[in-house]
Amino acid sequence: MDGGDITYIATDEGWVYLAAVIDLFSRQVVGWSMQPHMQSSLVTDALHMAWFRRHPEEGLIFHSDRGSQYCGHEFQDTLKGYQMKSSMSQRELLGHSI
């Protein structure tokens, strides 16, 4: 199982965004991407790196939050192309998971 998330970093030239893919078993970062925006290519590029570094078996589960970058067609189509399955955090309603 892999997991993904995005964070932001302040630099002298402004903000940059870092997307990381982590192997949740070994806790190693297996893919990452840093870009000056939070578009879907940020997380898709990190997923490409993770896949090319390991070539995981079909059916690997990729867990993330429900951010628009992970829910969008570009990322979901890439997961399907690599024969991975998407897992996302539960939605929350007024601070309570539903």
Which pLDDT belongs to residue 92? 65
Mean pLDDT across the chain, nearest whole number? Answer: 93
pLDDT tens string 48-66: 999 999 999 999 999 999 9
Which DSSP category does 24 fall into?
T
Which pLDDT belongs to residue 95? 62
Query: With contact defined as beta carbons under 8 Å apart, do 46 and 32 qualify?
Result: yes
**By percentage, how much of the chain surpasses pLDDT 90?**
90
Residue type, 32: W
Mean pLDDT of 22-38: 97
Residue written as tokens 């982590």? 22
SS3 content of the chain, % helix, strand, coil (to 5): 30, 40, 30
Strand arrangement of the beta sheet that strand 28-35 belongs to: 28-35, 14-23, 2-11, 61-64, 85-88
Structure tokens at 11: 């630099």
The confidence band for 23, taking pLDDT boundaries of 50, 70 and 90, is very high
The CATH label, of 3.30.710.10, 3.40.50.450, 3.30.420.10, 3.40.718.10, for the domain at 2-97 is 3.30.420.10
Mean pLDDT of 15-39: 97
